[in-house]
Structure 1
Amino acid sequence: MAGRVVLTYFDGRGKMEPIRWLLAAAEVEFEEVFLKTREQYEKLLSDGDLMFQQVPLVEIDGMKLIQTKAILKYIAEKYNLHGKDLKDKAMINMYSEGLLDLMEMMMILPFTSDKKPKLDNIETKAKQRYMPVFEKALSGPVYLVGGKLSCADVQLLECTLMLEEKFPGILSDFPNVKSFQGRMSRVPALSKFLQPGSKRKPQPDDVYVKTVMEVLRLKF
């Protein structure tokens, strides 16, 4: 079907979740193909669908896109969520990539054995390195850049919710960020994505971890 958007990944958050969030913000319907076996992955490789032998894979506008940041930028540009000029785009990219760095620390947590020191490191960096940046940026504006919703806003909402899952009350020292989270959660498209039954994925469980490790033949 023309115009169909198809996401190929595991049935869990990982690097696809920011893409799901951004498509939801843009009110774009998408289908999902879940990787469950090594054979599925090897077929993608043999078909030449994975340029660097990695997922996520997004089929959109007749293209097969890989690399999370490239996919996010394409969607943000296509749906006017990437700023009005080069300066806006640069600021959005800096915020966005910082948030992706922090979220990636949380994404890999389920695959690690000794979680306590890693959790402590995430909490410290969130409090000392990342959230102060957004607390300052949101001291007056409703949105992070240019007075309108961007992909960075969507990722900040996703990130703060992930942080609160691990560290309840972590935003108590960041009232501007907490207020922002409340505002963004009421944006109709994002509010819909937060409701039960949406394509938002739950926190990773043992089944998700086992599937990823078996399909990709990972060893930790």
Structure 2
Amino acid sequence: MAGKPKLYYFNGRGKMESIRWLLATVGVEFEEVFLENREQYEGLLKEGALLFHLVPMVEIDGMKLEQTKAILQYIAGKYNLYGKDLKERVFIDMYVEGTTDLMELIMSHPFLLPEDKAKHIEVIKEKAKKRYLPIYEKVLQDHGENFLVGNQFSWADVQLLEAILMVEEISADILSEFPLLQAFKERISEIPTIKAFLQPGSKRKPQPDDTYVTTVRKVFSMYYKVAFN
């Protein structure tokens, strides 16, 4: 019997959070190994555990997987959240890529210089309200169904909810002009496994703080000069 998936990342959201969301949605318990210092990361490199020298890395079903999208596609496919055919899968991928773009914009915020953060918040709100959220509102309006693809719950629905909640942390009334997304949020949030993941005490991570930012910089600083803005 296979053990629980093991997630290697920092003790924070970042790119691992969508993986946590998806595993929690399908009711799969998982373990986490938090990278707290440079030595842990170098140890994984020496073991050959990081093929691309990247995290997130997930041990699952006897494999060590990197690249966030590949990990998410595997989990979604294994647990029947990836459409019934190639056509549905490509739409799921397309919608997920859109929410990923928005979420990565938000993920970059804690790493910006203090003087850039206020302007960046306005950029996030503008892009969410004018570019991204109207797309998903229109998708729901055009087909009149409860889910984004094939009238069936999928990985795309999970990630859209995650993105909505991230934007609402920045602008609580962001959905005021999007009634279908408001209803979507309420509907998907009531799925039992998701409802449990949204409760205090779950493995959902809070918004990034200074400790998270410092840890990420410390672990990666010798290998990468990352432009976060």
TM range (shorter): over 0.9
1:212 aligns with 2:216: yes
Partner of residue 147, structure 2? 143
Partner of residue 48, structure 1? 48
SS at structure 1 position matched to 2:8? strand
CA RMSD in angstroms, aligned pairs only: 1.1
SS at structure 1 position matched to 2:149? coil
Mapped partners of 1:109, 1:68: distance in 2: 20
Mapped partners of 2:175, 2:190: distance in 1: 18
Cα deviation 1:27-47 (Å, max 9, x = unaligned):
110000000010000011111
Partner of residue 186, structure 1? 190
Mapped partners of 1:108, 1:68: distance in 2: 16
How far is 1:2 from its partner?
2.5
Mapped partners of 2:76, 2:3: distance in 1: 17
Cα deviation 1:74-124 (Å, max 9, x = unaligned):
000000000000000000000001101110111111000111222111111
Mapped partners of 1:148, 1:165: distance in 2: 28
SS at structure 2 position matched to 1:170? coil
Partner of residue 87, structure 1? 87
How far is 1:149 from its partner?
0.9
How far is 1:128 from its partner?
1.4
Alignment of 1:1-220 (within 5 A): 2-113=2-113, 114-139=116-141, 140-217=144-221
Mark the runs of 5 or more structure 1 residues left unpaired by the alignment: none
Mark the runs of 5 or more structure 2 residues left unpaired by the alignment: none
Identity over the aligned pairs, expressed in percent?
A: 60
TM-score for both structures, normalised by structure 2? 0.94
Q: Which moved more, 1:111-120 or 1:199-208?
A: 111-120
Q: What is the total number of aligned residue pairs between the two structures? A: 220
Mapped partners of 2:4, 2:146: distance in 1: 33
How far is 1:52 from its partner?
1.5
TM-score for both structures, normalised by structure 1? 0.97
Mapped partners of 1:23, 1:131: distance in 2: 25
